[in-house]
Structure 1
């Protein structure tokens, strides 16, 4: 089934001037697409692609997010509640631009780690852990 969908997408969109389909050969253009893209339409199955796209502050539309269950469903709900993603219905005006504070998990994770260490009397400094009594 996956091959059929890929073939259909390549057939239908492969000749479009604004669509690029990477065939797996050569360098992965993903980071360039994030930098240069104006908006993103993604399938719901990849947490990493959603996270990376939401780190741009640019419109992110998701196909099939309503079918996700369990952990990935919670992830989609959180992104939607924070205004980072919208469902793709096919009726969107893709020229409409919207934005949000970009997702930055690294900074958020680092702040939580610093806070947890500070609660225990520890601090971070130049790659070392220090304990102060």
Structure 2
């Protein structure tokens, strides 16, 4: 599917079902390596879909912004990128500010540090 993004196929109808795999109904410590990889891969796919401009239905946006903890730092990196891309599209991500500030202060994600270095700095100062 990832290679099909460049072919110009219409994937808008597939975004919600794909986003359901982002949040598995199990505790992080109980997830298998396959389940953790699935979450990572889904986060990467969704990030790429937003990057190339595929419209996300409200269900998928709500799922991305729902409360959840990712122990895998690579998945968390993509999740932060998803928040950033949603904000660029005008989606209110204020429910994620505290989480993003904590991740930024802990130096857990380079993408968040790079994205926050210019445009978001006033917001992080205001909410941090």
Please say which structure displays the higher CA radius of gyration.
1
TM-score by length of 1: 0.31
- Answer 1 or 2: higher relative contact order, Cα 8 Å, separation at least 6: 2
Which protein is richer in strand relative to its size?
1
| TM-score, normalised via structure 2 length | 0.32
Q: Which structure shows the higher helix fraction?
A: 2
